[in-house]
Structure 1
Amino acid sequence: MLAGIALAAGLISPAFGFGAARSPAPASAATRSGTSVVEWNRELITILGDPKAQPATVQPTRSFALLQAAEYDAVVSITRSGPAYKFSVPAPRGARPDAAAEQAAHDVLVALYPAERAGVDQRLSSQLSAIPDGPDKQAGMTVGATVARRLISLRSHDGSSAKSPRFRPGDKAGDYRPTPPDFPTPVFPNWGSVKPFVLTSGRQFRPAPPPAVSSAEYATALNEVKNLGSKTSSTRTPDQTAAAKFWAAAPVWNVWNQIAQNLVTSQIASLDRAVKVFARLDLSLADTTIAMYDAKYAYHVWRPVTAIRLAATHYNPHIVGDPHWTPLVTTAPDPSYPSAHAALSQAAATTLTGFYGARHHLAVTSRGTTRTYASFQEAATEAWLSRTWSGQHTSIDNRAGRQLGFHVADFVAGHL
């Protein structure tokens, strides 16, 4: 399965900028620290740590995209260091781009999470206190507020608040149905119809239909999960078990945002650089999420735990059923094809490789455990392989997911 590293690495294109730059920014503006961008990103992760922060029907990647797109447009409205994502706001000469980023981030988070206003207000006050008072600071704040207001307004009717239709599970072989042990209602069945941030539609890069569950190809892929992904597997190695639990411990979009935080901080990135990295990363993750859910609910493929437990129905003679089979990690409540970890991790790895190169050592920490990788691609590859080791996905799901994530990230990089 590790041959996938070479395959996926060959998909990556060397996109290093955020589009053709316009007139260069003054050195003082271009070199201001991107630390505050990292701090606002952390603030959002903290907010999302409260399960009551937003409705369970709203996918968190939308919030990351709004936050980072607002900071990016606020900064480049002043520095003119790249094309706007959506809005280029007029700014007087000397306006402070750091003040613009602070105000834009604050206003987006307050709009999304009004109950968190006190903490967000406090962070803004702390951040702005480091910027000298005066008309330049005020001009930057006005730019940030304007961008945030326009962006929130633009996304207010993107379909993210639409009520999902009642999910009706299928009863044919291969049809998705809720999974044990609690058989929860599927999540985000309508998210594929949310308006993308950059893509033309959620189905723009929809993967081809998966092979039939009666096929030999499906049997090979499922039997691999049955052997490696069982809670009591004797063929999964201790390191594979550790990796499976590591990548299941926290939302995968949080993990990749934290990787970006470490990169921006360790390299003492400028403000311009920081907003570019986070904007492209989170717009890619948001649109990959939309595209991934479009495909999941277009094909409604059942999860491995269902397929293995129902194999006695003889839908595929090459699969021996086990009505008591249990995965290492509890199955996520949505269809199997394509894999979310594969799609999102490939989108993130493609984006970050474009900025930092194909070989970049990184240490990734999740819930107190640290794992190290020689490249972004190596981390992404382990992320998707871990879903087979945890009993969540077949290699068919993973292959479709990583192709989808690459195509979305490549498209985003070419349109910003």
Structure 2
Amino acid sequence: MKSVSGLSAATLLPGIIAAALLGASARADVVTDWNVTTSTLVSSDIGNNPRLRTLAMVHVAMSDAINTVHNRYTRVVVTVPAAPSASAEAAAATAARQILVQIYPTKKDQIEEAYAASLKAIPDGPAKTEGIKLGMAVADAVQADRANDGTNAADTYRPHTAPGVWVPTTPPMREQYARAKPWVFGSADQFRPGPPPALSSDEWARDYNEVKSLGGTKSTTRTAEQTEAVRFWENINFGPAWQAAARELAMKHEMPLAECARLFALLNMSLANAYIVNWDAKYTYNVWRPVTAIRNGDQDGNEATERDAGWTSFNPTPMHPEYPSQATINAMIASAVLESVFGPVKAIPFTATDVRDAKRTRRFASLADMAEEQKNVRVWGGVHYRFAIRASEDVGRKVAAYMIENTLKPTP
């Protein structure tokens, strides 16, 4: 892995050329348009969990609506009769609109503006009318399917106090996701990783000392390039980067509507599942974050870990247990889904744009390089141990493989 701002012109040139070609041939459709609209709306959510739930609901609704018309791929939720004479575009836009106005009633004007733009591009007539009716029915079905998914259940978490156990300093973030209903597969613990290494182990000491050295605010071993990477990604750019990559690839390849809908539904269901799987493991193992472990290094029973009472992580420590790593699971899932559609992500260059400042970018020789950096910055930023990254790679691969194999399959 190597990426970005410090690269030579020769290394950056493929990405620049790809971006130029993309701009020349790209075309949006109703799916990518509503991905942008939804991504903009969810950017104001606090925390990452509801963002992916919303994106999954919107894209499942659009995919089910489009395939009720075109019957290219199996549907996820909807069982209404086929409607081959309806406008798939009207159905998809209406389904997305209906989902979003329920979730963001205070932003209805913004949603309606996007909806009006979608409908304006569709000729008036029976197909449009039927598509609107279909979209409403599909949205109702998806909302009903998610109404009791457990994401709004009461928080039952109570802090534990013992060496090795995560100690929250504010109420933990959305603990109920540990028991939420996944998309497609059976339960939150279906892909639970094994336990983290024992505090007495060499592995614990090695990974403790790595994050202690690299991840602190006063680190002298973290390079300037690593520091810039941590600052770029923080917690805000991980998700938007993968949505943008999917949009760019879909538009560059001029994907047919049903194929584009499948891509975004598969991607966002899988990412929504990542949170459920990860939260299950986090609240099962309750592993302490580096900031707690390093300040209490004299209490883990391992002579190879020395305490630093004033150590602080370079990134703000998230308010949930450490193990596994959400950023890693997401990167593994997103790259696997994109690779299943577009081919090896090692061959796909990409420029990630900061959602806070469009002039600030990081250029990668490949999407695989971007995924690798997203894993590493969690150690460089002081919020994860390397063993969590390794375990999360395996979890991400398994979730992605299951989703690719078991949903949105071509119809006979």
Q: Which residue of 2 aligns with 1:262?
A: 248
Whole-Å separation in 1 of the counterparts to 2:300 and 2:271 = 39
The aligned runs of 1:12-411 (5 Å cut-off) are 34-51=28-45, 59-165=50-156, 167-178=157-168, 183-250=169-236, 252-313=238-299, 315-358=301-344, 359-366=347-354, 367-368=356-357, 369-411=360-402
Q: How far 1:34 moved relative to its partner?
A: 5.0
CA contact (8 A) 1:177 1:302 kept: yes
Cα 1:92–1:39, aligned 2, differ >3 Å: closer, same or farther?
closer
Whole-Å separation in 1 of the counterparts to 2:60 and 2:222 = 41
CA contact (8 A) 1:213 1:219 kept: yes
Deviates more, 1:305-314 or 1:148-157: 305-314
Q: How far 1:212 moved relative to its partner?
A: 1.1
Whole-Å separation in 2 of the counterparts to 1:41 and 1:243 = 26
Q: Which residue of 2 aligns with 1:28?
A: none
Residue type at the aligned position of 2:42: L
Whole-Å separation in 2 of the counterparts to 1:61 and 1:200 = 18
Q: How far 1:214 moved relative to its partner?
A: 2.1
CA contact (8 A) 2:101 2:111 kept: yes
CA contact (8 A) 2:325 2:384 kept: yes
Identity %: 34
What SS does the aligned partner of 2:362 have?
strand
Residue type at the aligned position of 2:134: V
Residue type at the aligned position of 2:306: V
Whole-Å separation in 2 of the counterparts to 1:260 and 1:93 = 27
Matched residue count: 378
TM-score, normalized by length of structure 2? Answer: 0.88
What SS does the aligned partner of 1:392 have?
coil
What SS does the aligned partner of 1:372 have?
strand
Deviations 1:26-61 (A, max 9, x none): xxxxxxx65221221222222223348xxx796321
Cα 1:244–1:206, aligned 2, differ >3 Å: closer, same or farther?
same
Q: Which residue of 1 aligns with 2:24?
A: none
Q: How far 1:351 moved relative to its partner?
A: 0.6
Deviations 1:156-176 (A, max 9, x none): 1111111111x3322211011
Superposition RMSD in Å: 1.8
Deviations 1:80-120 (A, max 9, x none): 11111221432444321111111111111112222222221
Q: Please, which runs of 5 or more residues in structure 1 have no aligned partner? A: 4-32
Whole-Å separation in 1 of the counterparts to 2:248 and 2:176 = 33
Whole-Å separation in 1 of the counterparts to 2:45 and 2:77 = 30
Whole-Å separation in 1 of the counterparts to 2:73 and 2:42 = 30
What SS does the aligned partner of 2:353 have?
strand
Residue type at the aligned position of 1:160: T
Q: How far 1:255 moved relative to its partner?
A: 2.5
Q: How far 1:63 moved relative to its partner?
A: 0.7
The aligned runs of 1:4-15 (5 Å cut-off) are none
Deviates more, 1:380-389 or 1:40-49: 40-49
What SS does the aligned partner of 2:175 have?
coil
Deviations 1:275-303 (A, max 9, x none): 11110100000011100000000000000
Residue type at the aligned position of 2:68: S
Q: How far 1:249 moved relative to its partner?
A: 4.8
Deviates more, 1:136-145 or 1:340-349: 136-145
Q: How far 1:252 moved relative to its partner?
A: 2.4
What SS does the aligned partner of 2:72 have?
coil
Deviations 1:350-379 (A, max 9, x none): 111111111211111123321222332221
Whole-Å separation in 2 of the counterparts to 1:194 and 1:57 = 15
Whole-Å separation in 2 of the counterparts to 1:216 and 1:50 = 42
Cα 1:93–1:176, aligned 2, differ >3 Å: closer, same or farther?
closer
CA contact (8 A) 1:37 1:275 kept: yes
Cα 1:93–1:273, aligned 2, differ >3 Å: closer, same or farther?
closer
What SS does the aligned partner of 2:263 have?
helix
TM-score, normalized by length of structure 1? Answer: 0.87
Q: How far 1:309 moved relative to its partner?
A: 0.5
